[in-house]
Amino acid sequence: MGADVGVERALEGPWAALKGELRAFREEAGSPSYGVIAERICAARIARGQDAYAARIGRTTVYDVFMADHRRINLELVREIGAALGAPEDLVQEWIDASRRSPVRAEQAGGEASYGEGEEPAPAVEPVQAETPVARCDMPAGPSPRQVLLLLTVCLGLNHLGSWITDVMPVQLYLDMTGTAIAAIALGPWRGAALGYLTVIGTYALGHGTEALYFGLVQVAGALAWGYGVRWGAGRTVGRYLSLNIGVAALSTAIAAPLITFLFAGTTRHGTDALYEYIQATGSTLFTSVVTANLLTSVLDKILSGSVALVVLAVLPAVFRCRLPLAAALHDASQSGSSQPGDDPGGPR
């Protein structure tokens, strides 16, 4: 693919042809901003198993690959940028090979070269080796204490809002773990667990009875499952994330069903009590009725909570969504949809 002539004239240096190809392909891909490209690279690195801190990359680092006239270039980062733009790996390698063979590149690098047919010259400009760190990290190491406190407060409010909705509306769901999911994914499983138990303490304080305290175990288990699940790769694809939410539901039922059956005799003053009674009326035992009804409602509840968490994380700052590649992808899609064809939102800020 040939780069736009005007673009190539604006570029100088031994890697101008390669940068021109990248710029042309970026335009064909809808001109995503350099920040969006950086987030895609971060998500891809995490999906390959890299630590989220090491995976981060600054937008100015990406910008430099497209714009700066450096004599050295990180070819591994070029390949990552190509992948983030959707370029086939072999096409990116063709660009790199063509730039290495270019006489213009050799002259700009200060060397004289005459190449025989089929002969590849020794590179006049030495590319950065793969073991060199891929890019500097322009993003903060983590959320600030103020950001953490603010997000935890919002998550606590979301949990109580969901609980209130089930109190005033005939909804046979729980809706009290959406904030727990957000906190566990964005801030870590144990912070999510702490928030979950703080939720049930608040529920008890609001007059829901001592039974609320027992169900703190469900909140803690759900937070640990969500938090560690995305850190073990369950947030890389829609299928894996859906499976994670169903797994959280099954774990919640495994803890809640014995409590409901043996401590509260199937009565929890929740809308699901009627469902337990309906299933039991068909001839099932109390425990079977509780497990069946609780699992059905819990699966719907956790899928809904996980979906809301995904959307919320997609609009939060990148430091919160870096653990969940799906949220980064959703953010990218919304950014691409809101960009106009002629816009170039990409310069470093």
Q: Each residue of 68-107: pLDDT tens digit?
A: 666 677 888 888 998 888 888 888 888 888 777 655 444 4
Kindly indicate the confidence band of residue 189, based on its pLDDT and cuts at 50, 70 and 90: very high
DSSP per residue, 98-151: HHHH-HHHHHHTT------TTPPPPPSSPPBPTTS-S----S-SS--HHHHHHH
Tell me which H or E stretch contains 203: helix 189-203
Give percent of the chain above pLDDT 70: 78
Which residues 6+ apart lie within 8 Å of 232 measured at CB? none
Which residues 6+ apart lie within 8 Å of 315 measured at CB? 331, 334
| CATH, domain 145-338, list 1.10.238, 3.40.720, 1.10.3470, 1.10.1760 | 1.10.1760
Q: Each residue of 258-288: pLDDT tens digit?
A: 999 998 887 777 777 788 888 888 888 999 9
Specify the amino acid at residue 127: P
What pLDDT, on a 0 to 100 scale, did the predictor assign at position 247?
98
Helix segments in 204-321, DSSP class H: 211-214, 216-231, 238-258, 273-280, 286-315, 318-321
CA–CA distance, 125 with 111 (Å, rounded to integer):
9
Give percent of the chain above pLDDT 90: 34
**Res 145 pLDDT > 80:** yes
What pLDDT, on a 0 to 100 scale, did the predictor assign at position 13?
61
Q: Each residue of 207-254: pLDDT tens digit?
A: 777 777 888 999 999 999 999 999 998 998 999 999 999 999 999 999
Kindly indicate the confidence band of residue 124, based on its pLDDT and cuts at 50, 70 and 90: very low
CA–CA distance, 109 with 129 (Å, rounded to integer):
18
Q: Rounded mean pLDDT of the chain?
A: 79
What pLDDT, on a 0 to 100 scale, did the predictor assign at position 11?
55
**Res 291 pLDDT > 50:** yes
Give domain limits for the chain.
Answer: 8-108, 145-338
Enter the DSSP assignment of 3: P
Which residues 6+ apart lie within 8 Å of 57 measured at CB? 38, 41, 42, 134, 135, 137, 138, 139
Q: Is 170 helix (H, G, I), strand (E, B) or coil?
A: coil
Q: Are 166 and 175 in contact (CB under 8 A)?
A: yes
